[in-house]
Every structure is written in structure tokens, then in C-alpha cells.
Amino acid sequence: MSEFPTSAKVVVIGAGIVGNCLVGHLSDLGWTDMVLLDKGPLPNPGGSTGHASNFIFPVDHNKEMALLGVQSANQYRDMDRSVDSGGIEVARSEERMQELTRRMTSAKAWGVEAHLLTPAEVKELVPFINDDVILGGFYCPTVSVVDSLDTGTIMRTKATDAGNLQVFANTEVLDVLTEDINVPGKTKVTGVVTDKGTIECDYVVVACGVWSNRIANMADAYIPLVPAVHQMADVGPMDILAETNNEIGYPIVRDMDTFCYERQSSGSMEVGSYGHRAILHHPDEIPSNDEAALSPTEMPFTQDDFDPQMETAIELMDFLGDAEIKYAINGLLSLTPDAMPCLGEVPEVENLWSAAAVWVKEGPGMAQVVAEWMTYGYPRVIDPHASDVSRFYQDEKSDEHIWARADEHFIKTYGIVHPSEQWNSRRDLKTSSLKAQTDALGAYYYTARVWERPHWYETNADLVEKYGLSERATEWDNRWWSPIIDAEHLNLRENAGMIDLTAFQIMDLTGPGAVAFAEYLSVNKVDKPVGTSTYTPWLNADGGFHSDLTMLRLGDEHIRVVTGAFDGGRDEHWIKKYMPQDGSVTFENRTEDFVTIGLWGPNAPAILGQLTDADLSQEGSPYGSVRSIQVAGTDVDIFRISYVGDTGWEIYIPWADAPGVWDAIAEAGKDHGLRPTGAGVYAVGGRLEKGYRLMGAELESEYNPVEAGLARPKVKAADFIGKEAYLAAREAGPAALVCTLAIDDMNDSKGQQRYIQAGNAPILTTDGERITDSHGRVSVVTTAGMGPSYGKYLCMGYLPVEMAEIGTKVQVMYMNELFPATVVATTGSAFDPDDTRLKA
């Protein structure tokens, strides 16, 4: 064994599937001088990898999970550590049958072969299933079973053989060392202390699975996840399985409605469950390798929790009842507050990276994401924004929050989750000072991470009748939706709406270096006169989108960054990652100093005009300008901008003064048809009619500003992140363009009107073929919703440049049905394409 090192470039903690694949990928990308540590023995150090059921269903509604699942499955295949067993999700309920049509749609989107089967067809593939209890199945032939331990060894050995890695098992990390840097709330990693010695290093990667948060906490950082039990029992032997002479000879069956799976393992069947109560543990409750009867993450089986699962499993496969339970565990895996992984650099500590809350099914792919992220500054394989560990706000990092949310979503592992589904637990973490007013107006709140946002107001129900609107035909399309949203929309276009936008994340950059630094982050020119603003992308080094936001020039040395609630954490991390540490720039998060009220609609100038002496004309308050004025006797900043397509302002009001201003505007708007208006209009209908793009939907790192239609005629002289790639993208021209489609006929084959919910519905040719551009990027719906003023149901999405023409006919798949659609805008607006309403 080699001497224990005192220094290294990178220390990776955790030799499970993720840590092993990470060092393999990093080695391939040219990293040297790496050390991999694990407190357990090799090849199975006792983490979750060691007891994983090791199968991959490549279909997921979520793009990151689906594509990284496929990516991972392919990596296992390339290493010859994978068998395509096939897999079937069976339905016992009509609701599940509908969900399976949704699965078909997602399979189409990601290009995964899939078939809907009748019960008899399921039985042909799985002769021991009781086809009386099922209504059908969703069959995916490329479901695979992998050897995650062996794969880990191959990846790890690749790095050691290349001379880039030293591995130390049975080595426990006792502390993660940091030093102060001149960035508020942030330190920098300098090393790790282990029971075998201290290693000074530049980078530390936490790939410790269920232990990750404990390790991160050593550096006062957070990887918000909680160890949770997934029960599994191995029952057998069964002759019919043994006769296959194979680790797996029959397709895996997921009994979705009972939250169970049955997966052959040689002569036995592994019955796994996500149907029991959420059983969560603190990392300190996990025994050491020495103390554990099996492995640390194979905790004692709590039989009572599993009993109901056994009953339903026997219903599905009678022979399970007489087979012996040879091995049963409460296997631990990682759950996060939002059910997505924790990848990337942690925001609290420079060069401390997280590769955690990753399951075997996506391990190699997610490891590649982190390796590329460390190498190129942002991953190339996919945009992982939904997995970015910096997405969490502080309120989301507490054990209370992690446990409550994990408790709530564990049962959804096999559940039917609506794309707009809201959380029940841990609500009201962040609310506007307008809450009393919005409550009184019957606001129905959705969350934007921790922030509560009124999505519509029940007190506007009268408008539904006025505009002749109604509920949607199917429960699914109607779920998490109200016709009031469309009514508020139409009223805004006719009169005016006031929108509580307090969830906006507001960050100030001040100091002599503030403007130059802001310039460095932004594609568009920020160094403009005080009182102006810049809407701009922030790109990564490869020229893909990291953010899109507005930057207000409030002073010679003062830039205010305003971004959406979903991206506040990521954007703050990005700023702190790049901000100069010489003291020339000061960062301050001002989010909770201001309430933002949006006031838009043809009557907006008249309403606001009653409350101020300021010049609100297009000359006095031109589009994009920021003015400090008095409204109803309160000092506010008004910012003339619109995300809904009608003229008006975002009004920034000191927190405590906001209720008074809200009331004054409401009073002034009484005779102008002003209504409180929810985010349903702001975030979907309004912007969709205008073709305005949203970070995380239309804007992802895989696309560039040219393709998103956000390239300006000229490129500024100043340097900025991603400039070189951006220039190249301009040179090359777009391979795809963001388009707006109108659905021509919303009736499905049963004659029901259907309303496509976003969630990556595939856009197909009129022949029903998937559409991919010259880079292989698939066309899917990025946003969908009613265009009440346009009069049609609208979808946004990218189309290859040759199809991106107004009038192109395509189809959109939804619930496994095809709906004809026509391109109505390419990078522009379907509604009011000339922006005359904005100029009013």
C-alpha cells in the first residue's frame, strides 16, 4: 500500500457508484493527483450502492432524470456490466392507466422504445403474473439491470491504472478544512482530516451518499438530504426463476399502484417497496461498518411496515406467498427536499463539491455531469439546473425542512405526480408583507421554492362568468388550475392587473468594481446611464444559458440584479463564484428589503397617475427606465418593463410600506377595472402569448442566445463569461429556434378537449416522427398554456431552424394522443407581435 499522502489536487470522499465513476471521468478529462477515500472496505464499502436493486427504467417525466438515466444505462452497457431485462409498469387503476399513457408520451420524448400492453400481453412476458388484478402495462424493453459494484471498480481502476488516483479504503474523514476568503458568507476548502492523516488539497468532492450532509456540515456547508429507508425482501427460491439460469431472465415488474417492484435475482425475487411510511434517519443513527450487523445502510428490517406490501405482492404473483424470505432489509437511500439530486459546487465553500443524492440508476451520468462541471465550469452533457446544489435557499437546508419534504414525497416515488403539483408541508416559509391583503382577496398560493406567490384570486371568480370561461373537461387538465387564471388574464388585457412579485430575488452589487464585474457576467451592456436597465443572459463558458435576468443601473457604483425566485440561489452562487475578492465589489442580498408590485394593462398609466405627480409618459418613464418617485406618499422605484405584454411597471417598495401602496393602487384602480392578478397570468399566459422565455424552460445551457432569439445586433466590446463561445455561435447561426405553436384541434380521439400540461410533451412531425436538430437536441414542449387573448392553446419549444417558420405544421403528443399544431411565432410574439400595447 502506498504511503498516505499529505497533499493532493482533488480528494473524493466516498467510493460508491458516484465517487468511483467520478474519479474515472475526471481521470478521462485529464485530472491527476486525485485521492479517493472511503471509511468502509472495498469493493463494497457499505453505502447504498452495495444493496441497490441495480435496475434502470429509462423513462422519466423529468428531462434530467430521464436523459441521465439513459446516459448512465449506456455507460453501464459500454462497460459490459448491464443486461437488458426489459421492464413493465403495471396498472391496477384507471388513473394509473392514464399515467401510463403519460409514460408513453415521455418515452416518445426521450426516444425510448415503449409499448402499452394488455393484461394478456403482460402475462405473455411474465407468465407468473396474475393478469386479473391488472388493467394493463407499460413495457420498456431497454430496462436494464446493472452491476454497480463492478462498474465502480472498473471506473476506479481506470483512474489508478492511469496513475491519476490513489485509493484508501477504511479511512474515515474526521473534518473538512477551510480558510476565509473575501466573499460574504463563503470560505474555501483547503483539505481533509482523516483517521490516517491530513491531506491538503485544492478540491474536495463529497460523494458520500446518505452521509453527505454530515461531511458537508464539517465545512459549515449543506448538502440537503436525509437517509431514508427503502424496504426490500429477497424471497425464493422459485423454480421458474432458477430455470432461467440467469441473474435476470424475466422483465422487472413495477406494481405502480402498490408502490412495489418485483425484480428477479437468479432463483429468487427481490420485492422492493416505496409504499411504506417514510422512515427517515439522522446520519448519526447509521451504524459504523463495525457496528452494523449487515452493512451500515442495510438496517434492521421493520417487518410490520412491509406486511401490507407482501399482501399486495402476493395478489400480483401468487408464488411469492410460498417462497421463503431469505434476506430483508431496511435499505437506506438519499432523499432531498425536492426529490432531485445535489450536484455541483456547494454555495458556502469554494471548491467543495457535491455529488450526492444520486441513485445507481443515474450514477455514472451524474458523475459525468460533476466531472464536466469541475473541468469546464459547467456540464456539457446536460443542463443540471434542477439538480444544482446551489438551488436551495437557507430555509430548505434545515433538518426540519428536509425531513418534512422527504416525508411528503417518499410515497410519490412511484406516485402519479402532476407537473404543477404543490407541496403540503413547510408552507409560508417566505411570504410578502402583502400577505394579509392577498389572503383577504382569496389568493390561492403556489410556491416558488420557499416563496409563496398568489397564483390566482378566488375573489375574481365573477370574471369567469363575465368572460364566459369554464372548467376543463378532464380532471387531470383541471388539476392545479382554475379558469380564474384566464379570467384575470383577459381582465389585465382589457383593464389592468396588479401582481404581487415579492418573490423576486434582489441582489445589489456596489463599489468601484461593481459595474465592471456586472459587465463581466452579462452578455448585454450594463454600463449604461444611471436610471437605465439591462435585460441580459448570463452565459457559461461554453456559451449556454446560466441565467436570464434584469440588471438595474441605480448609481455610478450600484447595480441591482433582479431574478426569479426559482433561480435566486443559483444566481447568487454564480455572482459569488466570480466576484473579485479584492474588496472592489460588495454583495448584498436585498430580497427582503423590498416588495415588488407589478401593475400592467391598458389602464395602468391612468391608475398610477392618480397616485403620483411624476411624469409617467413614454418620455418621462420610457421602457426599461428606472425612476425613484413617490407613489401615494411613499418613496418607490418604478421600473418600466413588462413580462406580460401590456404597458406598466414593476414598483419596488420598502417592505413595511408596501401594504399601504397596494391599498392605494387598489383604490385608484377601482374605476379602471383593476384586479389583483396571480402568477398564473404573469408566469404562463401573459408571457406565453408574448413568447417570453423562462429560465429552466426555454432557457437551458444546451441552447445559446442566438437560438433563443436573444442575440442583439451587436456584441459589446467588454469581455464577459462565454463571450468566445457566443461569438462562435453567432458565426455558426442557430441550429434550432425557439418557437410558439398554436394547437389547431384540442380534441383527442375520444372527443375530449385536452389541455397539454408542460412536462416535455414531444413535438412531432405530421408523420408522427420525433424531431431532432443537427446537434441531436429533441423538440419538446417547454411551456404550455392557454393564450386567452390570442384565443388558442399555445406551446413553446425549439424546432430545428429549417422547421422554424410561421405556418409549419407539426403535432404535439399528450397522453399518448396526437394534437395538430401550427408554428405561430419564431423567437417573437404570437400576440401583439409589434408590441403596440407595450408602447401605449
Partner 1 sequence: MSDILILCEHDRGSIEPSTLEALTFARGAFEGDDLHVLVCGEVDDLAPLGEYGATAVIVAEHDMLRDFSPETWGQVLAQQIDDMSPEVVLACGTSRGNEVLAQAAARLDMPFVANVNEVADDFADDDETEVTRVQWGGSLLERAGLEADTKIISVTHHAVEPVSAEGEEAPSSTFEPEIDELYARSIVIDREIAEAGVTLSTAPVVVGGGRAVGSADAFAPLEELAELLGGRVGCSRAVTNNGWRPHSDQVGQTGTRIAPELYIANGISGAIQHWVGAMASKKILAINTDPDANMVTKADYCVIGDLHDIIPAVIEEVKKRS
Partner 2 sequence: MRVLVCVKRVPAPGARINITDDGQAVDAAHLGFTVSPHEECGVEECVQLVERHGGEATVLTLGPVEAEEQLRYAASLGVQHAVLLSADTTQWDPQRTASAIADAIETLEAEDGAFDLILFGNESADTGGFQVGIRVAHKLERPIVNAIKGIDLDLDNSKVTARREIDGGREIYELPTPAILGVKEGLNLPRYPTMKGRLASKKVEIKVLEAEGDEGQQSRVTLLQPPEQVSNTVKIGEGVEAAPAIVDLLDELGVLS
For partner 2, the binding residue among 192, 238, 310, 743 (CB under 8 A) is 310
Q: Quick check: 582 and 513 in contact, CB under 8 A?
A: yes
Total residues at interface with partner 1 (CB under 8 A)? 5
Q: Residue 739, interface with partner 2 (CB under 8 A)?
A: no
The C-alpha atoms of residue 361 and residue 366 are separated, in whole angstroms, by 10
For partner 2, the binding residue among 239, 293, 713, 751 (CB under 8 A) is 293
The C-alpha atoms of residue 527 and residue 533 are separated, in whole angstroms, by 9
What is the closest distance, in whole angstroms, from the C-beta atom of residue 186 to partner 2 in the complex?
A: 35
The residues that bridge with 416 in the sheet, in sequence order, are none
The C-alpha atoms of residue 746 and residue 97 are separated, in whole angstroms, by 21
Q: Choose the binding region for partner 2 from 145-153, 312-320, 565-573, 756-764 (rule: CB under 8 A).
A: 312-320
Partner from partner 2, partner 1, none contacting 235, C-beta within 5 to 8 A by type: partner 2
Element (H, E) at 508: strand 505-510
Closest CA to 638 of 676, 600, 670, 664: 600
What is the closest distance, in whole angstroms, from the C-beta atom of residue 82 to partner 1 in the complex?
A: 24
Q: Residue 717, interface with partner 1 (CB under 8 A)?
A: no
For partner 2, the binding residue among 314, 461, 715, 718 (CB under 8 A) is 314
Q: Residue 1, interface with partner 1 (CB under 8 A)?
A: yes
For partner 2, the binding residue among 285, 400, 663, 805 (CB under 8 A) is 285
Q: Residue 290, interface with partner 2 (CB under 8 A)?
A: yes
What is the closest distance, in whole angstroms, from the C-beta atom of residue 290 to partner 2 in the complex?
A: 4
Going across the sheet that includes 736-743, the strands are: 763-764, 809-814, 817-826, 736-743, 792-800, 781-787
The C-alpha atoms of residue 354 and residue 373 are separated, in whole angstroms, by 11
For partner 1, the binding residue among 6, 29, 41, 671 (CB under 8 A) is 41
Q: Where are the beta strands (DSSP E) in 565-697?
A: 586-589, 594-600, 626-631, 634-640, 648-654, 674-676
Angle between helices 63-78 and 94-110 (to 10 degrees): 60
Amino acid identity, residue 665? Answer: I
What is the closest distance, in whole angstroms, from the C-beta atom of residue 185 to partner 2 in the complex?
A: 35
What is the closest distance, in whole angstroms, from the C-beta atom of residue 321 to partner 1 in the complex?
A: 24
Compose the 165-194 pattern: x for residues touching partner 1 by CB under 8 A, - for all others. ----xx------------------------
Residue 137, phi then psi, degrees to nearest 5: -150, 160
Q: Residue 288, interface with partner 2 (CB under 8 A)?
A: yes
Interface with partner 2 in residues 206-235 (CB under 8 A): 233, 235
For partner 2, the binding residue among 5, 287, 442, 555 (CB under 8 A) is 287
For partner 2, the binding residue among 101, 170, 266, 289 (CB under 8 A) is 289
Q: Residue 286, interface with partner 2 (CB under 8 A)?
A: yes
The residues that bridge with 795 in the sheet, in sequence order, are 741, 784
What is the closest distance, in whole angstroms, from the C-beta atom of residue 150 to partner 1 in the complex?
A: 15
* Closer CB to partner 2, 201 or 299, in the complex: 299
What is the closest distance, in whole angstroms, from the C-beta atom of residue 290 to partner 1 in the complex?
A: 8
For partner 2, the binding residue among 323, 490, 506, 803 (CB under 8 A) is 323
800: its cell numbers: 430545428
Residue with cell 451518499: 209
What is the closest distance, in whole angstroms, from the C-beta atom of residue 1 to partner 1 in the complex?
A: 6
For partner 1, the binding residue among 4, 5, 42, 535 (CB under 8 A) is 42
Partner from partner 2, partner 1, none contacting 303, C-beta within 5 to 8 A by type: partner 2
Q: Residue 157, interface with partner 2 (CB under 8 A)?
A: no
Q: Residue 586, interface with partner 1 (CB under 8 A)?
A: no
Ordered DSSP codes for 702-744 = TS-TTTTT---SS--SS--TTHHHHHHHHHH--SEEEEEEEES
* List of residues 6+ apart from 250 with CB closer than 8 A: 85, 125, 126, 128, 241, 244, 264
CB-side neighbour CA atoms (13 Å) of 176 = 30
Closest CA to 218 of 183, 178, 180: 178
Residue 733, phi then psi, degrees to nearest 5: 80, 165
What is the closest distance, in whole angstroms, from the C-beta atom of residue 525 to partner 2 in the complex?
A: 59
Residues binding partner 1 (CB under 8 A): 1, 41-42, 169-170
Binding positions for partner 2, rule: CB under 8 A:
233, 235, 285-294, 299-301, 303, 307, 310-311, 313-314, 320-326
